[in-house]
Structure 1
Amino acid sequence: MPAFSGESNFLVLDQGTSSTKCFLFDTHGQVVFSERIKHGLARPKPHHVECNAEEIYHACTRLIQKCIDYANEQSLKICSMGLAVQRSTFLFWDKETVDPLSPALSWQDSRAVSVVDELQKFGSKIHKRSGVPLSAHFGGAKFLHMINNDSNLRAKVESSEAWFGSLSTYLVNKLTGKPVIDHTVAGRSQLMNIDTLAWDNKLLSLFETPVNCLPEIIPTVGAFGNYESIPLACVIGDQQSALIGQGGVQNGFLAMNFGTSGSVLLNSGKSPQHNEGLLNNVLYSNEHVVYYLTEGSINACNSLFYWLETELDIPHKDMIWDQRCAQTETNGVLIAGFSGLAAPYWKSGFETVYSNLENADHNEIVRAGMESIGFLVHDIMQSMCVANHAKMIPASGGAAREPLLQFIADILDTPIGHTTMKDRTAYGVFCLLKEHNGESVTFSVPACNVIFDPKMDAEKLNVKLEAWKSALQSVIH
């Protein structure tokens, strides 16, 4: 048995759409070890997007063991661990064996659109009670679609043999034996009441969901059980953790994160908000306090460019979308339909719109796709009523590249800062673990290596916004 050093170390898993990463942080927030395992998505039919929950679980256990082995080699003590996870991915699994009974339906999956159509007359009530707009991307619609199309699954649910929950719940159940879901991810089920933070009987009735197949809801920071004698002390949605990692613990703090998907994130304080077209959720919670989040989500950022690789027959190594966009301008508009639109419009999969792109080359189409992300950020900010809210808005993530951030600065007429520290999502979990361990934490806004000031003149800006609004009409009406 090694003689451990006195300082605390914290193990963090960042479970994302295309990979799972592990990090070992020392008490000062420095990463002393990290590793990553990639995994894929299956797209068996249009608008069907699935991942393999067991594959992701095994990736998690391998990564945890790598951290433990490194800690033992270096005589480091791991105090606790935490998990940041993709949020709107849901599945069924057996209560006894903890084996999956269905694929994990990705947050990108919109096969449940028929359920949404049938419940549309209740849309306003559902949004008010759950905090999130009625959508095929969330848990309730996925639950009802799956049991309506699988009689064996329905029988398992009716006989109380199956859990239905988020990927995070499945992973916690497998790792520690506790089938629990935290507030931040439970908000994506569309079954939790945003005001009471409990399963809502009226929502359960609308989505025909028996409460005995749902996990217990608990705070984000607390007791999730132990794995290999290491306490799992935090489970949180990845975008919430990214905001915390950017120092966003103060009411009114605004930031952006662009990865496979994207989010505009606003700390909305200690009271839940109700904003039309936006997600109103928990930022994080513990046994003493709950902080809330207003969010505008964008379904496709980096995934948009992966889709364009196939659509335009561009090899992945040749896409390099930021270079293509930096040397190209367009008057066209592209609205990709493969994953639908999230905030603030909530339209499931539709035919892709190519407006004024009839004779465009590949670079111009890629540029139009990139600009669609910026237009959606603009519309989300309008819905948040925080246009010109901040002197500078920090942005992070793998898709937070120069052409996109410059375009967002132009379209918002607000400076955008690119934050220098990578892996803000994992760092957010570290901050919560350290605070839970009774240690002092400084939630500081990260430094920006580049600030993008608005450059576009008002006339050109108005022309582009009008072109976007015109193209959008064919989707939202």
Structure 2
Amino acid sequence: MRSDLCLVMDQGSHSSRAMVFDRFGNCLSQGQVQVKTRLTQPNRAEQQPTDILISLKRAALEAVSKLTREDRAKLRTAALTTQRSSVLCWDADDGKPLTPIISWQDRRGFHYIDDLMPLASMVRQLTGLYPNAHLPASKLRWCLEHMIFNTAKHRIRGGPVASWLIKQLLHEQPDLIDGVSAARTMLFSLKDRDWHPELLDLFQLPDSLLPKVRPSKYNFGTLKLPGLSLPLNYVSGDQAAALFAFGDPSQDNLYINLGSGGFMNRVLTERGLHPQERILHHLIHSDKQPLYSAEATINGAANALDWAFNICRPETRDIDSWGEKCTDPPLFMNMVGGVGSPYWQSLDRSCWINDCDDPEARMVAVMESIVFLICRNIMAMSALPPAKQIIIGGGISQLNSLCQRVADLSGLPVLRYEQHEITSLGAAWQVLPNSVRDFVPEKTFTPQDNSPLALRYQSWLNTFNEYLDSLEG
């Protein structure tokens, strides 16, 4: 018996999606609408707010329209997940956007970050984050200084894209944000679980700018769509929700989610900084009993492959078959979108080393660079108790050659499940009562001896470090 159903809306970099789940985790229907990101140099990535809002509504209505009348009557609740570091500003009175959505990929505020680096330890102690231009704080300051001129200060609101979507989608039009998304801004105190006045002063942001913080599981208001009215009972960042997809997050697992960017998480039950200062310490569940994680980021994942496809122009996109036959690909210095942890390098200067004319080999090199960045971050997390296995998800986790290489280099089994949309599934579990979570991995990749890959990794690691040093010099 399906019982109650949940509508999950997921706003991502490339599309807005909506999925309807039952309490067994079955997806009964879904809708998806592609969205555009305008990429311009230098360091700019923007989306149009109205386009994002319309795409999310269309996806939700598409998913609901595919349900039978009987199932539609069983819809009881809704959840919303979004990109955590994309931000905008809006008018508090009518919700009208005052800026574009500044994407998580955008690094236009990097000079503010450079200026505060002497205070990096203080920022990290308060927020758990290593200061970098992908996070929202510097973007909000940039917006106030360069985009908003004719709106009274007390009417300006700004924050993660989730807060604007809450205002636009809900009948009550509240100015609210969930704690997980708030914790990503670099303006939020993990200890107090609220905005921190000293951080607002540091970025010269007014107290009135930010929405009120609420737990992720909270009655935010009433979602109103044509023919549909549901309570919105869960809002969270996409990567945090994904950790709940296949049961409660476990400290035994390393979780990897590979979308446009890649994210790696180790669950922590207590607030406390990871010994490696360039790994993020993040809130993944904001409730009475919060959960935290040590998080590493890979800026160039699926977007690095897309970038390389446009340059290499191979005849097909069959990376798995290329990975099997290509025994000596070149090395790719993956700086697509800048370099995330543990380097935090904002320059975008990707290139191939020991290059060749074979587009397929060049694509394998890009795929391997994602694997190498994963293993570099595993090394950075070495102060934590060793993980027993890796659980991998996201779009490019469907590449068998990528998953096998991760297993070979890490020495850990890599488990992949059939349900790929793990962010939406994780959100559904938070609001569906009496849920039954019984999942078996679709495929397990067992570590194998792969000495040539290990040698390429060591060569890549040495070359990558030298390459970064040369750019910084």
For the criterion TM > 0.5, the same-fold answer is yes
Q: 2:110 aligns with which of 108, 113, 138?
A: 113
C-alpha deviations, 1:205-232, integer Å up to 9, x for none? 1111112110111111111111133100
| Unaligned residue ranges in structure 1 (runs of 5+) | none
The letter of the residue matching 1:208 is: Q
- Contact 1:84–1:235 (8 Å) recurs in 2: yes
Match of 2:387 in 1: 390
- Contact 2:2–2:23 (8 Å) recurs in 1: no
Q: Distance in 2 between matches of 1:444 and 1:295?
A: 26
C-alpha deviations, 1:291-312, integer Å up to 9, x for none? 1122111112111111112223
Q: 2:168 aligns with which of 161, 170, 174?
A: 174
Q: 1:380 to 1:155 in 2, by over 3 A?
A: farther
| Unaligned residue ranges in structure 2 (runs of 5+) | none
The letter of the residue matching 1:227 is: L
Match of 1:240 in 2: 240
Q: 2:210 aligns with which of 208, 214, 227?
A: 214
Determine helix, strand or coil for the equivalent of 1:11: strand
| Deviation for aligned residue 1:245 | 0.4
Determine helix, strand or coil for the equivalent of 1:58: helix
Q: 1:411 to 1:386 in 2, by over 3 A?
A: farther
Q: Distance in 1 between matches of 2:98 and 2:33?
A: 24
Q: Distance in 1 between matches of 2:110 and 2:205?
A: 17
Determine helix, strand or coil for the equivalent of 2:444: strand
- Contact 1:276–1:383 (8 Å) recurs in 2: no
C-alpha deviations, 1:168-204, integer Å up to 9, x for none? 1110110111111111111211110122211112211
Q: 1:465 aligns with which of 458, 465, 471?
A: 458
Match of 1:310 in 2: 310
- Contact 2:25–2:436 (8 Å) recurs in 1: no
- Contact 2:16–2:34 (8 Å) recurs in 1: yes
- Contact 1:272–1:281 (8 Å) recurs in 2: no
Are 1:199 and 2:195 matched, yes or no? Answer: yes
Match of 2:354 in 1: 356
Q: Distance in 1 between matches of 2:231 and 2:121?
A: 40
- Contact 1:181–1:215 (8 Å) recurs in 2: yes
Q: Distance in 1 between matches of 2:407 and 2:270?
A: 29
Q: Distance in 2 between matches of 1:456 and 1:108?
A: 34
- Contact 1:248–1:443 (8 Å) recurs in 2: no
Are 1:103 and 2:100 matched, yes or no? Answer: yes
Q: 1:137 to 1:379 in 2, by over 3 A?
A: same
| Deviation for aligned residue 1:82 | 0.1
The letter of the residue matching 2:240 is: Q
| Deviation for aligned residue 1:391 | 3.5
Q: Which moved more, 1:263-272 or 1:197-206?
A: 263-272
C-alpha deviations, 1:124-178, integer Å up to 9, x for none? 222222111111101111112223333xx1553x622211111111101101111
Are 1:62 and 2:62 matched, yes or no? Answer: no
Q: Distance in 1 between matches of 2:63 and 2:417?
A: 27
Q: 1:250 to 1:92 in 2, by over 3 A?
A: same
Q: Which moved more, 1:11-20 or 1:266-275?
A: 266-275
Are 1:447 and 2:441 matched, yes or no? Answer: yes
Q: 1:367 to 1:161 in 2, by over 3 A?
A: same
Q: Which moved more, 1:97-106 or 1:459-468?
A: 459-468
Q: Distance in 1 between matches of 2:367 and 2:121?
A: 31
Match of 2:374 in 1: 377
Q: Give TM-score scaled by structure 2 length.
A: 0.91
| Deviation for aligned residue 1:355 | 2.2
- Contact 1:248–1:254 (8 Å) recurs in 2: no
Q: 1:212 to 1:453 in 2, by over 3 A?
A: same
Q: Which moved more, 1:74-83 or 1:397-406?
A: 74-83
Q: Distance in 2 between matches of 1:131 and 1:96?
A: 33
C-alpha deviations, 1:271-295, integer Å up to 9, x for none? 3434411121111123x32111221
C-alpha deviations, 1:235-272, integer Å up to 9, x for none? 11111111110324234432211121111111111434
Q: Distance in 2 between matches of 1:392 and 1:72?
A: 40
| Deviation for aligned residue 1:71 | 4.9
1:263-282 equivalence runs, <5 A: 263-274=263-274, 275-282=276-283
Are 1:255 and 2:255 matched, yes or no? Answer: yes
The letter of the residue matching 1:232 is: L
Query: What root-mean-square deviation, in Å, do the aligned CA atoms of Structure 1 and Structure 2 show?
Result: 2.3
The letter of the residue matching 2:52 is: I
- Contact 1:252–1:269 (8 Å) recurs in 2: no
Determine helix, strand or coil for the equivalent of 1:160: helix
Kindly tell me the number of residue pairs found equivalent between the two proteins: 461
Determine helix, strand or coil for the equivalent of 1:282: strand
Q: 1:388 to 1:193 in 2, by over 3 A?
A: closer
| Deviation for aligned residue 1:28 | 2.4
Are 1:138 and 2:140 matched, yes or no? Answer: no
Q: Which moved more, 1:184-193 or 1:461-470?
A: 461-470
Match of 2:155 in 1: 161
